[in-house]
């Protein structure tokens, strides 16, 4: 059931018009790689100016979070890219029958292509995926399902997702949520190190200003 929730989340990975489905590729992003290096400079990851006295447990938690971000981000990036194409394709279809047929083909493709990989995602991976889809599309996963499926489907999808501690209405707010701030720092670092392919967020995120805000809170 958990992988079915992720299939709803990734409903927007279709890539073709007129019901022709093509393979998904992602430049140099690595989607199914659980061996991402966990080395990093701690001073780039910590909100406060404290460096040397960070607890081993916090270091471990940050390393795990970073690994999850690098694992999940490529899915959110693809979702953003494919959402644009999906909207274009649906606009070309004239009847509801054609659109329903197209949607069924897309869902079948997603299930065959991604279900095995999505089964490897943990609940926490799913939580991060929902956040990053909001970062890349500017919309919550709930609203995307509501728009492209129905309000009823969005409601029940969210009900099922909550069984796995995933809220499809979750947004992404580095300025107010500490975990999101860490995630944004990991993304920017990975972009600079070319571990991930950079994609601009759907809305402006002033990371330097946000970092100063968090530091001021720690004083």
CA distances from 42 to 67, 71, 141, 157, 181 (A): 14, 20, 32, 38, 14
Domain ranges of the chain: 2-17+56-218
pLDDT confidence of residue 27? 39
Q: Report residue 19 as tokens.
A: 């019901």
pLDDT in tens, 202-219: 999 999 999 999 988 876
Q: Tell me: the pLDDT tens digits for 88-121? A: 777 788 888 887 777 677 667 666 666 666 667 7
The band of 70, judged by pLDDT with boundaries at 50, 70 and 90, is very high
In this structure, what DSSP letter does residue 159 have? H
């Amino acid at each position: 059931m958990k992988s079915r929730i992720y299939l709803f989340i990734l409903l927007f990975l279709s890539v073709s018009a007129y019901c022709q489905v093509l393979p998904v590729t992602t430049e140099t992003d690595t989607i199914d790689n659980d061996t991402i290096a966990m080395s990093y400079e701690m001073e780039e990851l910590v909100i406060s100016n404290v460096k040397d006295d960070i607890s081993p447990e916090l270091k471990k938690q940050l390393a795990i979070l970073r690994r999850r971000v690098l694992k999940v981000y490529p899915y959110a990036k693809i979702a953003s890219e494919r959402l644009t194409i999906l909207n274009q394709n649906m606009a070309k279809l004239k009847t509801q029958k054609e659109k329903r047929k197209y949607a069924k083909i897309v869902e079948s493709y997603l299930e065959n292509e991604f279900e095995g990989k999505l089964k490897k995602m943990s609940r926490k991976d799913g939580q991060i995926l929902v956040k990053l889809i909001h970062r890349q599309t500017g919309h919550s996963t709930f609203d995307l399902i509501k728009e492209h499926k129905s309000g009823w489907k969005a409601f029940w999808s969210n009900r099922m997702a909550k069984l796995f501690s995933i809220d499809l209405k979750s947004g992404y707010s580095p300025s107010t949520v500490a975990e999101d701030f860490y995630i944004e720092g990991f993304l920017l670092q990975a972009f600079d190190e070319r571990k991930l392919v950079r994609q601009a967020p759907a809305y402006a995120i002033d990371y330097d200003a946000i970092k100063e805000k968090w530091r001021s809170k720690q004083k």
